[in-house]
Amino acid sequence: MLKHYNISVKGKVQGVWYRKSTWEKAMELGVKGTVKNQFDGSVYIEAEGEENQLKVFIEWCAKGPEFAEVSDISFEEADPSFYQYFEILY
């Protein structure tokens, strides 16, 4: 069953290839959605997929790429948007 999560990631997550690495992890797992930087220094992600895919994806988001320092992650379930692919928003 398709699930949708809105995810907010805080910490040192901008300027450390977080969005690009998130896109790569989404491609690997088959997760669809978007990722973008926020003005407050956080990263916002909308992710859709099967529950097991999203569990692994959120666990990855809580760590991020090598140079990221995630201090907090929050997520909430929302209605699906039926994304066709995963993209980086600017």
- What are the residue numbers of the active site? 19, 37
Residue ranges per domain, the chain? Answer: 3-88
For residue range 71-85, list pLDDT tens digits in order: 999 999 999 999 999
State the pTM of this model: 0.97
What is the per-residue pLDDT for 28?
Answer: 98
DSSP symbols for the chain: --EEEEEEEEEE-SSSSHHHHHHHHHHHHT-EEEEEE-TTS-EEEEEEE-HHHHHHHHHHHTT-STT-EEEEEEEEEE-----SSEEE--
For residue range 51-73, list pLDDT tens digits in order: 999 999 999 999 999 999 999 99
What is the per-residue pLDDT for 87?
Answer: 98
What is the per-residue pLDDT for 25?
Answer: 98
Per CATH, which fold does 3-88 belong to? Alpha-Beta Plaits (3.30.70)
